[in-house]
Structure 1
Amino acid sequence: MVFVRQKLLTMRELVTIQVGTYANFIGSHFWNFQDELLGLAEEPNRDPLFKSSYLDMDVLYRTGETQKGIPTYCPRLLSVGFQGSLGSLNLSGFLYDHIQSPNPDVLTWTGNVARLVAAPHPKNLFLQSLYEEEHGKLDASEDDPASSLTKSIQDIARVECLENDVKFWTDFSKVQYHPQSLYELNNSWTDINKFDNYGIGKDVLSGGLLLEEMNERLRFFIEECDHIQGIQFVVDDFGGFSAAAVEILEDIADEYTNTPVLLYSVRDPCVYANAINQKSIARALHDAVSFSRLSSYCHLMIPVGLPSVRRAFSPLLLVEDHKPYHTSAVYASSMHSISIPFRMQMPGPATSSTFTSGAMDVGEIVHTLSGQSRQNMVTSLAIAMPPPSLIEENNQGTILRNLRSLTPELKEDHEDLLATESLVVQGAFYSDGHRATLSQVEDSLCAAYQREPSKPLFSRLSVALCPLPVPLPFPSIFGSKIGQHGELEYDAVQGVRPRGSLDVESIPMATRLRSSCAIVPFLEKRSGDLRKYGIARGAPGAGLLCDWGFEKDEVDDMGEHLVKLLTAFDPHSGTASDSD
């Protein structure tokens, strides 16, 4: 096993793309984390780790100004969703003047015209109080006991509002967006249960105008970058949005050939519950086509989405699987942790071994996971949220033993001598109540790897002392054994009420991307389904693929791509496909 330590970088920009309803739920939590970090860095009485995090937020954000000359600091983001999916947020956000929709009147019509305009969705209590705070209408002085009590009561009400009333991803977003960031697919489906296959997504984009509009917005963010390091892309993979994502990815591959793409293919647990009512052939073909097409145009693909998040993480996390607001928070936490190495500031002489270690860019993590003995681009994702302390006195095992997979359909108890992985640890505790130093984390993980019965061929470790902040919009999903700063309190009485942002201020995180043969069942399922239902002689789904707009040679190419991915892990796996 090779264990790699720190390599220094200069800042390079990262552009984020979110395509689909659930992808935007994840993105909303992700950007709330960033907004919280920015706020904590400016508050004098907060944990000094947040003030000295040495994370360069310019990697994710851009500076600008409004038409009135007011400075802005907005995510470098393109968000794509259904028409009407922004809730109370308008297409230009709140910073800029409202963007008027195109005039829908038909100029050749000489008769009477009636225009029907839907009433805007009202802001919920959280968004109302956020607006009032930003405009100085709420007195939040911590020195005044009466004001502090009022704020506490307001916070409790806001948490209850979010737990019960979230309908849109914008309902819990506290971030200001640039007008170029928010894009709706006009005239698209508004019922996600009907926008459920790749063919429907292709139909929506068939005219080409919507795709060009999305690409113009993406071009705005990419071409203003001085040294773009890559694109982090989050897409709903279970419906028509995957087709929209593929079209965007194709243009990225054509226009920005050398820009690596890190793709999260995400799935809401509710999809698994609804799949019972869907035709199995159509569902299987969608999954195979979506995965084949998406993986063809990215440099590293991370499938994310469990049938039950609660089952995987209980009792530490008490997630309600039917709430996208809950489950997306877990996935967003892992996405935040993975991106930490991409924005570590280059340390100076006084900080080189104090706050961060293991900086790297998107290209380096792609090379780490796909540039070794095998040329694959599909990895599994696992997290410990939160991990145990390095000196564990309750026989809970090491951080490595507490990682839980977020990628479905993995092979259990596998041994892969060619496995490679990247591990990120942030805000770890050394012992009860004491934060670990960089060297303590590195030494502990080195020792833990040595004790593992199956060691990876290559491992890369990145460490940040700054923990994951828990902003107020974060859902109440923590069990009673998680303390105020994410420490594990094993003697705590198991409570009935889940804990949230009013009880837990921050938590440590450990996140691992792993390239190994554990992903083989995931690949085999999609390759086998495409061969059985779409390619084999008399395949029952061949007509459906034709209806989706695919010629036979295109389907064959997708099948060959899947076999190639599979063969990278098992040289014997492709032989069966050749005989069909």
Structure 2
Amino acid sequence: MNILHHKSYHVYNRKNIEKVKADEAEAEREAKIKKDKVTLAESESRLTILRQRANANLPAPAEEPKQHFNLFEGLSKGGNQEHEAEVKAKDDQWDKQITMYLEKGAEKAPWYAKESNQVEKYIDKDKFKRRENNDHKKKPIQLLDDPLDAIKKQLKSREERKRDKHDYKRKKADKHKDTKTGSSSIEELRKKRREREQEERARKNRLFLGPQQETLDERNMSYNSQFNKRETEQAHHQRSGSIANHVGTHFWNSQEEYFTYGGSNESKTEEINHDVLYRAGENSSGVSTYTPRTLIYDLKGGFGSMQKYNRLFSMEDDPQQATWDQGVSRIDRSVPKSQYQHELDRMESENDPNINLDILQQLDSSVNNWSDYNRIYYHPRSVNPIVTHQMDNEITPFDNYTIGREAYGQNEKEMDIFEDNFRFFVEECDNLQGFQVFADVDDAFGGFTEGLLNNIRDEYLKTPIMTYGLSDSHAEYRTDRHKQKIILNRVLGMTRLAELSSIYIPIYTPTMAATQRSGLSPYIYFNEHSRYHTSAIIAAAIETNSLPYRLKHNPITMAETISKLNWVRSTSLASLSVCIPLPISKNGYIDTIETMTKKEQLRPTLSLSDRISTTEKIDVYGESLVARGLPRNMSGQFEYLGKLYEGFKEENDPLQSRHRVETSFPLPDSFPRIFTSRLDQEGHVSHQTTYEVPSSIPIMTRLQSGSELKYTVDQHLKQLDKIRFADFYEYSQGECALTKEDFLETKEALITLSDVYTNDDDMMM
């Protein structure tokens, strides 16, 4: 009988082998304890016998000689002390009578007996001669002996400062009263100015939009963040939650938009195979479910208001519910639901497909956590808290790479997530292509991910792993030391996760400066400080990049994509860039080519890497291109694609793959309002201002491995040279501590990566 190696009752299972070894060690320890007890008893018995023999041969103790008892022994030795004291007293009295002492002078009156205004003056009269001009004389030294004078002087100065402050406030209040009388005229001027601006705006609408659209007002169009800068600026504080979970939430929300919920639950597109990312099943009530194949990790308190058990799954569907120590149905009961979540509950309970538009307008300012805009019901095994650490805990912060590595081991001992939940999803796959990992690398989540990848590699040695290392371009540095710690975490994540992954893609949150350089600023406007905004762009790029191995027709596997990028097994880094949106004119491909003559206009590409090469010559080892949202009913597609792919590798190059998909990227209502009024409902570019809400957009992504990555590696190496490892003692503590040798090996790994991605022209120089 052949027993699968991953079954718990397999005799050569790793756990069973460790259990046998532990039992053998325990038996050996007990035998040793028994043997030590016997040896100790025998030694004590021998010592007792030897002591008895030794005492028998000792001579009897000698008796002390008897002496006469003397009652006056003390007097005979020391003399009569009382008599000696009397003689000494008589001698002292006689000395006082015949000895003359000098009279003691009268003491000077103490300082507190003087009058308060009494001051002693000392003048050096011998040093200077008298002259008519007394300026040459040395000024007298004044000694103020009374400490009460110093106290009174200090209190007097304090009263003067208080009085000056009071006078300043009084003068300021009087000034405010004087200016208040003219406020009415200022308000009138403001009112006239607003009326004048409104008239000018109405006149512009009549000239450009015609009389039918005269009432349109750009400021009332809430969809475009370009016209809602106030709400966008309010999102500056929205930085809570890991970037990976923000990206994952947008990723799965967009997947839901592919489905039409009704009697058939059919997909809106026939090009994508959703079984790659979703699993079909049934809950305890017999209801069919279709949930993502995913594991979500976060700290305690990081899940916000998300429920482990929801409308689809109850505690009966999770046999491990007894080990859940954060509440029966909610991870953190103290966090209330957002308005958006309440609206989703209302729509589901009332079976209403229409959402309240006012809540959508307030979504930017109301998002505090990634769970606030989540639309997915996850399986209970997908939600996995890290029980060893609490979110925003200043005493034990989760900001150290080695702490994350140690936390993974401790969390596995407590929860055993890999053995139970991870295998639960993997063993259901009929054709496992690989693993896609989103991980923050600015804090301890990088080390936590290393522990997870180690377990995956132990069980699935040759299975492809595509890891996205996410960093915040606007990470908040409390101190210079904190900045260096984030850099050290990023470097450790790049070197160690790249070694365990088949391909490692470092990604930084996009910025508006990079957007303007790329040429995308006419189409998108976002808050670069909001993870809710920046993660949406990253999620759209990753979702589009994953299309090739999710297609129904002519797909390529994840292993084939990775083989084109890392075919020499040493180029394990790749960079991802995105064109969001891909500007296609609503008038067709021909109009697109004629109006967008430059490459930057036809293909404005935003790089998600840290540094971009400034040289024109870039060696590309391998690349994967995905263009989606290309309508087939437009004429001139062949000419358009020829212009679009100019500058890339040849189509027949074995290290390049090109994929064209008609399905656009769907935009759920939870997607942030980052697109301008130049896009219509289908995401196509319009020559006139439009106020339609885009429901989908065309996107193009490029995943490449080449010399462009050298600048990212060199930047990390340059920053690492400024770090003195001895100053970061916290990295050398704990079970997964780093040593000085490990730090030097990390630097050596960066140097090796830099050499791998060196341009051929640079090597010739």
In structure 1, runs of 5+ residues without a counterpart are: 1-19, 106-116, 141-150, 347-357, 494-498, 576-580
Q: What is the alpha-carbon distance in structure 2 between the residues aligned to residue 305 and residue 219 of structure 1?
A: 31
Q: Which amino acid aligns with 2:298?
A: G
8 A contact 2:443–2:486 mirrored in 1: no
- Larger strand proportion of the pair: 1
1:491: how far off? 3.3
Secondary structure at the aligned position of 2:258 is classed as: helix
Question: Do residues 380 (structure 1) and 582 (structure 2) align?
Answer: no
| More displaced stretch, 384-393 vs 304-313 | 304-313
Q: Which residue of 2 aligns with 1:292?
A: 495
8 A contact 1:326–1:475 mirrored in 2: yes
1:552: how far off? 3.6
Does the C-alpha gap of structure 1 residues 235 and 314 become closer, same or farther in structure 2, counting only changes over 3 Å? same
Question: Do residues 470 (structure 1) and 470 (structure 2) align?
Answer: no
8 A contact 2:487–2:719 mirrored in 1: yes
Does the C-alpha gap of structure 1 residues 520 and 210 become closer, same or farther in structure 2, counting only changes over 3 Å? farther
Question: Do residues 394 (structure 1) and 394 (structure 2) align?
Answer: no
Does the C-alpha gap of structure 1 residues 531 and 574 become closer, same or farther in structure 2, counting only changes over 3 Å? farther
8 A contact 1:230–1:261 mirrored in 2: yes
Secondary structure at the aligned position of 1:39 is classed as: coil
Q: What is the alpha-carbon distance in structure 1 between the residues aligned to residue 438 and residue 635 of structure 2?
A: 32
Q: How does 1:111-260 map to 2 (within 5 A)?
A: 119-135=333-349, 137-140=350-353, 151=354, 154-191=355-392, 194-207=397-410, 208-210=412-414, 212-260=416-464
- Larger helix proportion of the pair: 2
Match of 2:605 among 403, 416, 430: 403
8 A contact 2:509–2:535 mirrored in 1: no
Match of 2:732 among 546, 549, 559: 546
Q: What is the alpha-carbon distance in structure 1 between the residues aligned to residue 675 and residue 264 of structure 2?
A: 25
Identity of aligned residues (%): 26
Does the C-alpha gap of structure 1 residues 255 and 198 become closer, same or farther in structure 2, counting only changes over 3 Å? same
Does the C-alpha gap of structure 1 residues 453 and 216 become closer, same or farther in structure 2, counting only changes over 3 Å? closer
Q: What is the alpha-carbon distance in structure 1 between the residues aligned to residue 761 and residue 438 of structure 2?
A: 29
Q: What is the alpha-carbon distance in structure 2 between the residues aligned to residue 300 and residue 314 of structure 1?
A: 31
1:219: how far off? 1.7
Q: How does 1:329-348 map to 2 (within 5 A)?
A: 329-346=536-553
8 A contact 1:428–1:436 mirrored in 2: no
Secondary structure at the aligned position of 1:188 is classed as: strand
Q: Give 1 or 2 for the bigger CA radius of gyration.
A: 2
Q: Which amino acid aligns with 2:376?
A: V
Q: How does 1:364-379 map to 2 (within 5 A)?
A: 364-371=560-567, 375-379=570-574
1:155: how far off? 3.0
Q: What is the alpha-carbon distance in structure 1 between the residues aligned to residue 483 and residue 608 of structure 2?
A: 24
Q: What is the alpha-carbon distance in structure 2 between the residues aligned to residue 418 and residue 249 of structure 1?
A: 28
TM-score, normalised via structure 1 length: 0.77
Q: Which amino acid aligns with 2:576?
A: L
8 A contact 2:442–2:487 mirrored in 1: no
Q: What is the alpha-carbon distance in structure 1 between the residues aligned to residue 335 and residue 322 of structure 2?
A: 17
In structure 2, runs of 5+ residues without a counterpart are: 1-240
Q: Which amino acid aligns with 1:224?
A: E
Match of 1:326 among 528, 533, 536: 533
| More displaced stretch, 248-257 vs 564-573 | 564-573
Does the C-alpha gap of structure 1 residues 426 and 452 become closer, same or farther in structure 2, counting only changes over 3 Å? closer
1:476: how far off? 0.8
Q: Which amino acid aligns with 1:550?
A: L
1:453: how far off? 11
Secondary structure at the aligned position of 1:279 is classed as: helix
Does the C-alpha gap of structure 1 residues 311 and 554 become closer, same or farther in structure 2, counting only changes over 3 Å? closer
1:463: how far off? 1.1
1:203: how far off? 4.2
Q: What is the alpha-carbon distance in structure 1 between the residues aligned to residue 451 and residue 707 of structure 2?
A: 29
Secondary structure at the aligned position of 1:37 is classed as: coil
1:123: how far off? 2.4
Q: Which residue of 2 aligns with 1:561?
A: 749
Q: Which amino acid aligns with 1:474?
A: F
1:172: how far off? 1.0
Secondary structure at the aligned position of 2:390 is classed as: coil
Q: Which residue of 2 aligns with 1:426?
A: 628
Secondary structure at the aligned position of 2:447 is classed as: helix
Higher relative contact order (CA 8 A, sep 6+): 1
8 A contact 1:310–1:321 mirrored in 2: no
1:64: how far off? 0.9
1:426: how far off? 0.5
Does the C-alpha gap of structure 1 residues 470 and 198 become closer, same or farther in structure 2, counting only changes over 3 Å? same
CA RMSD after TM alignment: 3.4
Secondary structure at the aligned position of 2:708 is classed as: helix
8 A contact 1:527–1:562 mirrored in 2: yes
Question: Do residues 510 (structure 1) and 705 (structure 2) align?
Answer: no
Q: What is the alpha-carbon distance in structure 2 between the residues aligned to residue 298 and residue 556 of structure 1?
A: 21
Superposed structure 1 runs of 4+ greater than 6 Å apart: 40-44, 452-457, 571-575
1:528: how far off? 4.2
Q: What is the alpha-carbon distance in structure 1 between the residues aligned to residue 388 and residue 667 of structure 2?
A: 37
1:254: how far off? 1.0
Q: What is the alpha-carbon distance in structure 1 between the residues aligned to residue 310 and residue 351 of structure 2?
A: 22
1:26: how far off? 0.6
Q: What is the alpha-carbon distance in structure 1 between the residues aligned to residue 545 and residue 307 of structure 2?
A: 30
Q: What is the alpha-carbon distance in structure 1 between the residues aligned to residue 305 and residue 385 of structure 2?
A: 14
Q: Which residue of 2 aligns with 1:359?
A: 555
Secondary structure at the aligned position of 2:384 is classed as: strand
1:291: how far off? 1.4
8 A contact 1:310–1:317 mirrored in 2: no
